[in-house]
Structure 1
Amino acid sequence: MQAGKLSNETLKNIIISNLKKNNNDILIGPDVGEDCAIIKFQDEVCVLTTDPITAAAKNAGTLGVHICCNDIASAGVRPLGVLVTILAPLSAELNDIKTVMDEVKEACDILNIDVLGGHTEVTDAVNKMVLSITAIGKGKIGEYVTTGGAKVDDDIVVTGFAGLEGTVIIANDYFEHLKRKLDEKILKDAQSMMDNISVVKVGQIASDFGVNAMHDATEGGILGAIWETAEASGKGVHIFQNKIPVKDVTLKICHELNIDPLRLISSGCMVITCNNGAELCNKLRENGINAEVVGKITESRKIITTDNGDVEIMPPESDEIYRIKV
């Protein structure tokens, strides 16, 4: 099998199709593209999500907290805390575990959330550190946002920059290899993009603005996130490649490694659909957040216009970061 998430087709056929909902308080359960489970508690909802960190050798604690809280933010609610599971290999030292937890604590302090508990174990079941985080948030019933809420003629807004998380991971984990080909300042700039990995503020602004759908772009990159938003909504898309924001440093790194920046893991980048994308972009920019309208939600086909014409957007497969060979 390929490294990375299961394909959406496999996920649907092997896992989701075999599940059934047993409780009516579950408002949103597992589905392709949906980032969070949403549970009703009287006039409020509890929002939950979980994710592992497996692609990054460095900054696992920081990435883990922000990635999970980004999912909570994509539901338009505020994260409250995280549960942390660490599986350390036999070769690990106590300082390795401390480093991860120091990163977790720092990220939680930045977001003003709490570590709620978890589990820490040394095991021969893994050969490198595996971190899994569950994040919890809450909001008002009827005010949460889903991936599958997009409507025909919605503008598609992309915040941040495509490939952001992948750029950070690669610049850290492949620094020694890349510095032989790229200027060290470029790589340092790429590493500093970690400061922009959170979209919690984006989610709050978009929720207050009133949007129809939100989806955090993770594995499969920005094209994968746009495809999943359309698929979850039962709609199509028409986007324009030249409107998708990508930093120059990302393009340079991806060129050197022969990978596609639009299919590269992109936490820090949110896909939003709403009926007035230009106004939302202005609101986000007023708050120091880059945002661009990249296309529209349509009835059916999923299309991207490139320099070579219109191309069908294919479902996300294994992320580009797993294709790196050095």
Structure 2
Amino acid sequence: MLPVGKVPPEKLRDVVFKHLGVRGERVLIKSGIGIDASAIDFGDSVLVASTDPITGAEKHIGFYAVNINANDVATFGAKPKWFLVSVLLPENADEKLLKEIMSDIDKSAKSLDIAVIGGHTEVTPGLKKPIVVGTMLGEVKKEKLVHAGNAKPGDAIILTKGAGIEGTAIIASEREDELVGVFGKEFVERAKAFLWKISVVKEALIANEIGVNAMHDPTEGGIANGLHEMADASGLGFEVHYERIPIAEETRKICEYFNLDPLSLISSGALLIAAPKENADEIVAALKKENLAASVIGEFLGDKKKRIIIRDGAEKELKQPLSDELWKVV
């Protein structure tokens, strides 16, 4: 039986990636382990396309759909421009729910200067809550195209914002009453507001202009899974320092309360960047100038079997999560 959440990498390799039709003569990059978008040659420019469903949240699901898909496109260095969306509603849905979802999609798209150009809407038998599936298209000059599988040995690993951003917002919303009773209303409102931090479009485009080798937004499985996905895609290992990974107070306390690992909690809003060491300080400074927190948390290694985290001076293997911590509580 498959676990809840993303299909494990070995099953993707053995089943999914063996059934992908023809290669496509203009396809520069196809989706793969850690590769969340595809790139198609259009001469001087490249069309970048990504698709993702929103299944773990109900509130603000339209906002998530636009931003999560925009993030995947931006990690290729591309500006997100066009969005297609399929809205699947449960059988008990009413017009109010549909209007809320579409209003969220509209506002989110406008905030990123994105056109919603098509999609599908239906009431779907068997669903307990809505699911929104988005496809984002973006564009980048060919010479500025990057992807998660191009990290190099010795590259600095830069993390923006911190761990568990999206998971913090989802849990605070879905378990609000319980958490208010434990931590108080003000704390929970701060945690819910993490929702508005999940876009990485701005930081991805800034970093790409300075010069990076690879970028990846860690979604399901959090920072830990994101590091493994970049390493798998690039054929590398990594070394990171736990104390350098920012974990907000709200994230830390919620994870302690539910006994969750913040490094394995869905982390949309964070961006992992692999950059030549000579560019790392400039990237961090440029992001901080735009009030975007960023830290160098480690480096990529040539030995693909060496994937370690250093905590309190001790090295240990950073294992790849089998499932996101979010599924334990929502």
Counterpart position of 2:178: 177
Amino acid across the alignment from 1:65 = V
| 2:308–2:317 CA contact under 8 A, matched in 1 | yes
| 1:82–1:117 CA contact under 8 A, matched in 2 | yes
Counterpart position of 2:290: 287
SS in 1 for 2:257: helix
Counterpart position of 1:309: 314
Report the more deviating stretch, 122-131 or 157-166: 122-131
Rounded Cα–Cα distance in structure 2 between residues aligned with 1:20 and 1:304: 39
Once the two structures are TM-superposed, the CA of residue 224 in structure 1 deviates from its matched residue by: 0.7
SS in 2 for 1:65: helix
Rounded Cα–Cα distance in structure 2 between residues aligned with 1:210 and 1:131: 34
SS in 2 for 1:82: strand
Superposed, which structure 2 residues align to 1:244-263 within 5 Å? 244-263=245-264
Q: TM-score, normalised by structure 2?
A: 0.96
Counterpart position of 2:280: 277
SS in 1 for 2:105: helix
Once the two structures are TM-superposed, the CA of residue 121 in structure 1 deviates from its matched residue by: 0.3
Q: Does 1:320 align with 2:325?
A: yes
Rounded Cα–Cα distance in structure 1 between residues aligned with 2:189 and 2:76: 32
Percent of pairs with identical residues: 38
SS in 1 for 2:215: strand
Distance 1:34 1:109, change over 3 A: same
Counterpart position of 1:266: 267
Once the two structures are TM-superposed, the CA of residue 305 in structure 1 deviates from its matched residue by: 0.7
Amino acid across the alignment from 1:68 = N
SS in 2 for 1:61: helix
Rounded Cα–Cα distance in structure 1 between residues aligned with 2:212 and 2:313: 32
| Corresponding pairs, count | 325
Rounded Cα–Cα distance in structure 1 between residues aligned with 2:270 and 2:218: 6
| 1:56–1:169 CA contact under 8 A, matched in 2 | yes
| 1:88–1:130 CA contact under 8 A, matched in 2 | yes
Rounded Cα–Cα distance in structure 1 between residues aligned with 2:191 and 2:169: 6
Rounded Cα–Cα distance in structure 2 between residues aligned with 1:161 and 1:191: 15
| 1:78–1:204 CA contact under 8 A, matched in 2 | yes
| 2:3–2:322 CA contact under 8 A, matched in 1 | no
Counterpart position of 1:193: 194
Superposed, which structure 2 residues align to 1:1-326 within 5 Å? 1-19=2-20, 21-275=22-276, 276-300=279-303, 301-307=306-312, 309-324=314-329
Rounded Cα–Cα distance in structure 1 between residues aligned with 2:53 and 2:206: 27
Amino acid across the alignment from 1:146 = H
SS in 1 for 2:67: helix
Amino acid across the alignment from 2:282 = E
Q: TM-score, normalised by structure 1?
A: 0.97
Rounded Cα–Cα distance in structure 2 between residues aligned with 1:39 and 1:6: 25
SS in 2 for 1:177: helix
Once the two structures are TM-superposed, the CA of residue 285 in structure 1 deviates from its matched residue by: 0.3
Rounded Cα–Cα distance in structure 2 between residues aligned with 1:106 and 1:209: 30
| 1:155–1:296 CA contact under 8 A, matched in 2 | yes
Once the two structures are TM-superposed, the CA of residue 108 in structure 1 deviates from its matched residue by: 0.6
Amino acid across the alignment from 1:183 = G
